[in-house]
Amino acid sequence: MNKTDLIGTWDLQRFWFTDDDGIEADPLGADAVGNLVLGGDGHYAFTMMRTGRSPYASGDLLGGTPDEKGEAAHGYVSFGGTWTFDGDAITFGITYSLFPNWVGGEQVRLTSMVGDELQLQTTGPILLAGKMHRGAARWRKL
């Protein structure tokens, strides 16, 4: 696989975490949706969400109650910036992220093809809901 093979828009097939006991969990649900757009100019956008999130009662894009905002954020993952590929892994330079702790940093994801799907995996465990997990996502090119 080379960088040219990765350029394009990818549709989320599955997003999951595996704990130290080998138990898998789909934190955004089995029917999560999202896209990974890897541009030939070295920029990307990574977005996924839980389906069926509740709308804000007010209908105000910048409004919402604290509970509504919390529920909306809990079911959403988004970050973007620049990307590079070294033949084994994508390094995502993070310019923006819903999770503020990632802004200005990097996230590295190991890459592999599973049939016609791109699989991205964390290089090590990450903290999710107070417990360490390994993360993975599978994507199909559109």
For the stretch 96-117, pLDDT in tens is 999 999 999 999 999 999 999 9
The CATH number of the domain holding residue 86 is 2.40.128.280
* Contact status, residue 85 vs residue 3, Cβ threshold 8 Å: yes
Question: Do residues 90 and 43 lie in contact, with contact meaning Cβ atoms separated by under 8 Å?
Answer: no
> Taking the CB of residue 128, how many other CB atoms lie within 10 A of it?
14
Rounded to whole angstroms, the Cα distance separating 92 from 36 reads 12
What is the reported pTM?
0.92
Domain region containing 125? 3-141
Counted domains in the chain: 1
Q: Pick the residue with more confidence: 98 or 131? A: 98
